[in-house]
Amino acid sequence: METTNQPAAQEDKTVAILAYCTLIGYIIAIVMHGSNKTKLGTYHLRQATGLLILGVGYWIVTMILMFIPFLGFIIAMLSPFIGLGILVLLIMGIVNAANGAEKPVPLIGGMSEKMFGNAFA
């Protein structure tokens, strides 16, 4: 007979992976995590929150600076690379979640843990 730990571990990974998959996936992960709080889900929800704030903050700053003539040009040139960098961080988070690892996302992972240390517990 199988133990019940395997489905729980799979659900943990599902919450962790969904946290990184669009805003709707993030909300679904929060709802799923609310009914069954796990260490892996909590960790990746915190990491995904940091990435979500980074992405939204970057978008807001970009929209504001686009209207300033010289800065708008520079932002327009850098925007694809910064967006690609955020996408790479997102994929790294998904890979860590799929492997069940609690590795911080490079650049912002440590800061996310400090800022959201009590979130989702």
Q: What is the pLDDT of residues 50-89, one digit of tens each?
A: 999 999 999 998 888 888 888 888 888 888 999 999 999 9
Distance CA 12, CA 96 (A): 12
For the chain, give every domain's residue range: 5-115
Q: What is the pLDDT of residues 102-118, one digit of tens each?
A: 899 998 888 888 888 88
Q: What is the pLDDT of residues 20-46, one digit of tens each?
A: 998 999 999 999 888 888 888 899 999
